[in-house]
């Protein structure tokens, strides 16, 4: 077994265990910490697939910015208290069964595909910053600029929604 395969299985197990931890932990703080573990393992997968730009962006944007935003909201509003009331246990069981059925359907449908055994190419330099930056600023320059307008409107919207009403 090669070192990349060992790393793949280790990162996959880490991602699945941490994702289960996100769903099962009682306190939202622990959910955020488990979700950071998931994001780091997904970044490890990106590095294994030689997509280094996306790995770095994933760590900076998700684990760095978005999770800090979640932590700030939880801590500043003191939401960490266990506030979930007694709920219907049948709804939980129905949710778990529905998710499992979806997984079974996906796996059963995809396992029959003819392309399922195509190997991932190794060692291509598609994901390097040089290639992606060149494409981003030539072919995709208009969506890039539109996304800056999207960020501006999201910032204005967050301020307007979060402002105290007079």
Q: Which of residues 21-80 bind another protein (CB under 8 A)?
A: 22-23, 28, 31-32, 35, 38-39, 42, 45-46, 49-51, 53-54, 57-58, 61-62, 65-66, 69-70, 73-74, 77, 79
Dihedral sign for Cα atoms in the order 30, 34, 35, 39 = positive
- CA gap 112, 106 in Å, rounded: 10
Residues in contact with another protein, counted by CB under 8 A, come to a total of 83
Q: 107-124: string of b/e by CB count within 10 Å (b at 16+)?
A: eeeeeeeeeeeeeeeeee
Contact flag: residue 100 with another protein (CB under 8 A): yes
Pick the binder of another protein from 8, 37, 56, 59 (CB under 8 A). 8
The 77-96 site mask, x for binding another protein (CB under 8 A), equals x-x---xxx-x---xx-xxx
Residue 88 half-sphere exposure, CB side, CA atoms within 13 Å?
Answer: 4
Q: How far is CA 163 from the centre of its chain?
A: 28
For another protein, the binding residue among 20, 75, 141, 145 (CB under 8 A) is 20
If the CB atoms of residues 65 and 166 are measured against another protein, the closer one turns out to be 65
Helix axes 67-76, 28-48, angle to 10 degrees: 170
**Binding of residue 19 to another protein (CB under 8 A):** yes
Is residue 116 at the binding interface for another protein, with CB under 8 A as the rule? yes
């Amino acid at each position: 077994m090669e070192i990349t395969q060992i790393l793949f299985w280790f990162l996959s197990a880490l991602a699945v265990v941490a994702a289960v931890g996100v769903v099962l932990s009682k306190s939202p703080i622990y959910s955020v910490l488990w979700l950071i573990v998931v994001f780091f393992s997904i970044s490890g997968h990106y590095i294994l697939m030689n997509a280094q730009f996306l790995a770095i962006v994933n760590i900076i944007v998700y684990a760095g910015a978005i999770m800090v935003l979640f932590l700030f909201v939880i801590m500043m509003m003191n939401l960490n208290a266990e506030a979930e009331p007694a709920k219907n246990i049948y709804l939980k069981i129905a949710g778990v069964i529905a998710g499992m059925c979806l997984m079974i359907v996906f796996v059963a449908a995809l396992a029959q595909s003819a392309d399922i055994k195509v190997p991932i190419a190794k060692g291509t330099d598609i994901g390097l910053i040089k290639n992606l930056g060149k494409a981003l600023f030539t072919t995709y320059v208009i969506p890039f600029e539109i996304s800056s307008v999207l960020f501006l409107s999201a910032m204005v919207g967050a301020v307007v929604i979060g402002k105290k009403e007079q």
